[in-house]
Amino acid sequence: MVEQQYIDYIKNNINTYPIESLKTQLLNSGVSTQDVDEAVRLATGNSNISEHMFESDSKIVNEEIKGSFDMTQRSTYYRFFLTNKRLIVAKTSGTFWWWMILGTIGTLIAWGQAKGKGKQLESLTPESILKSNKHNFEVAFEELTIELNNPKFLSPGKLTLNLSGTKKTFMFEDKKAYQKTSELLKQIIPNKISVK
């Protein structure tokens, strides 16, 4: 018989994370495949869900996260995930309402939330990260070019994604983040970046 804690885990998280991600977490923590399938069946009332356990994750075989970094765009925080096949941009927090209500303190709260959400996402598969928020998006390396704008006196630097004629610009937190991200990008996708 499956332990109640596994059923509760699925029930408590099914509206936040894809079922594949929840199953992977249970399997990675040492729960048997049979217990995971039974917990999902009992938590969801769906006996067919186990047949499709890794269907979406199997689309990208042997994909692994090589690195990640944080960026902002206007009043929204993002974590960028570089895999061996693509870039995934995941929304981690918005600051607008926090700022409207609490000003600078609200912005700091949103920043802390973004860092925490980014850490949570790191434990997921790339496909589960992509599906964790409707605002997340992916760019295959074949379609990607990145412009890095060096930090200036009052600017910590910018990163611009060129996506089929559309540009999306993001800001670094500080000059140290620019340097660290620049080195990571040059290591993983050196032929996809240009520095200005």
Q: Look at residue 23 in the predicted model and tell me its pLDDT.
A: 83
**Nearest CA among 96, 82, 1 for reference residue 39:** 1
- Token pair, residue 136, equals 């997340």
pLDDT tens digits along 1-38: 778 888 888 888 877 777 777 888 888 888 888 888 88
- Token pair, residue 105, equals 């303190």
Rounded to the nearest integer, the mean pLDDT of the chain is: 79
Taking 90 as the threshold, does the pLDDT of residue 57 lie above it? no
Q: Which residues contact 98 (CB under 8 A, 6 or more apart)?
A: 106, 107, 109, 110
pLDDT tens digits along 72-108: 887 788 989 999 999 999 988 765 444 455 555 555 5
Domain 65-195 has CATH 1.10.3720.10: no
Q: Ranked by mean pLDDT, which of 15-19, 41-45, 172-176 comes out on top?
A: 172-176
Q: Look at residue 113 in the predicted model and tell me its pLDDT.
A: 64
**Interatomic CA distance for residues 34 and 13, integer angstroms:** 20
Q: How many CA atoms lie within 13 A of 14 on its CB side?
A: 16
